[in-house]
A and B are shown apart, each in its own frame.
Chain A
Amino acid sequence: MQLNELNNEKLSSLVEMIRLTKPEELTCDDLLAYVATYADACVKDLPVPVGSEPVQQHLSICSECMEEFQSLVNVLRLR
């Protein structure tokens, strides 16, 4: 994509990502170390584990980790 093809829809996604951006964020690999605890709590309807904000922040900004997380939760619910 060229920059002049950046339409309002794509610009809107970028602005939303910029809005959610924090100075320090978990990377996709970092997330894997914490996502199991968070997913287990979600599935069991337990309170959100202390310190989960970076996990939630990454999931809100990274659609691919979110897709993987949703599939993980689906599997855990089947178990």
Chain B
Amino acid sequence: MLKTSDSEAIHDLRTILIRGLTGGLQGKADSNLIEDFAQETVLKVLAGINSYRGEGKLLTWALAIGMRVSYSELRRSRYKDVSLDAIESAGRFAMEPFFDRTSTLDSADSPSILAILKDLIATILTPRQREAILAELDGIPQVVIADRLGTNRNALYKLGHDARVKLKQGLIDAGKSVDDVRELIIDAS
């Protein structure tokens, strides 16, 4: 049972969140949605407040959670009607080595760095890592990819991080530095 002072504090927090989210989202959500976002944020703040170890102001932390809650829902609703194909097609990709001989980045000494990177994506990543990376490069929000892969944004970030670490090491093992690749791409564009 909440004490009166607690329920007043929660009411005040909700009011501050509604005001903050209205200002921060700059027209991306209507007032009804913002009230829902604020309500969900209050629940998350109450659930996490005892374990909050951050040194920042509590109110700033609450607003940061509010932004996370709001943007997650807005991104979800933007992609609600998009087909699964964009994500699933990456998972159906064959595992054979992939050398793109037609690339404009190909040079006399083949395979080109572009081909090596594509080959690494095809061969050293797990299907889930590949799906995550390719869907993200397609601009699909993390929360949407996570929902469809049956995971959450945090685990998806770790999946993507593991993939990037592998690709970085793969390029080094192939004798290429990331800066080499970057220069070639800038030159070609």
Instruction: Please report A residues at the B interface, Cβ cutoff 8 Å.
Output: 1-4, 6, 8-19, 21, 23, 25, 27-29, 32-40, 62, 64, 67-69, 71-72, 74-76, 78-79
Contact = CB atoms under 8 A, between A and B. Distances in A.
Contacts of A25: 161
Interface of B: 20-21, 23-26, 52-58, 60-61, 63-65, 67-68, 71, 75, 86, 89-90, 93, 98, 100, 104-105, 114, 117-118, 121-122, 130, 133-135, 137-138, 141-142, 153-154, 157-158, 161, 164-165, 167-168, 171, 178-179, 181-182, 185-186, 188-189
Nearest to B51: A33
A8 B55 contact: no
A33 B67 contact: no
A19 B182 contact: yes
Given A29-B154, A36-B56, A75-B20, 20 more contacts: A4-B118, A8-B105, A14-B117, A18-B168, A21-B164, A32-B68, A34-B54, A36-B57, A40-B57, A64-B71, A64-B142, A68-B71, A71-B24, A71-B25, A72-B24, A72-B60, A72-B63, A72-B67, A75-B21, A78-B23
A4 B61 contact: no
B40 to A, nearest CB: 15
Contacts of A79: 20
- Main SS class of interface, A: helix
Nearest to B104: A8
A78 B105 CA distance: 47
10 contacts: A2-B93, A10-B138, A11-B185, A15-B178, A19-B178, A27-B154, A29-B153, A32-B64, A33-B54, A72-B63
Nearest to B143: A64
Give the top 4 A-B pairs by smallest Cβ distance, nearest first. A36-B56, A37-B56, A36-B60, A71-B24
B57 to A, nearest CB: 6
A56 to B, nearest CB: 15
Nearest to B20: A75
A71 B67 CA distance: 7
Contacts of A17: 164
A11 B23 contact: no
A5 to B, nearest CB: 9
Given A40-B57, A68-B64, A3 B153 contact: no
B157 A27 contact: yes
A64 B60 CA distance: 18
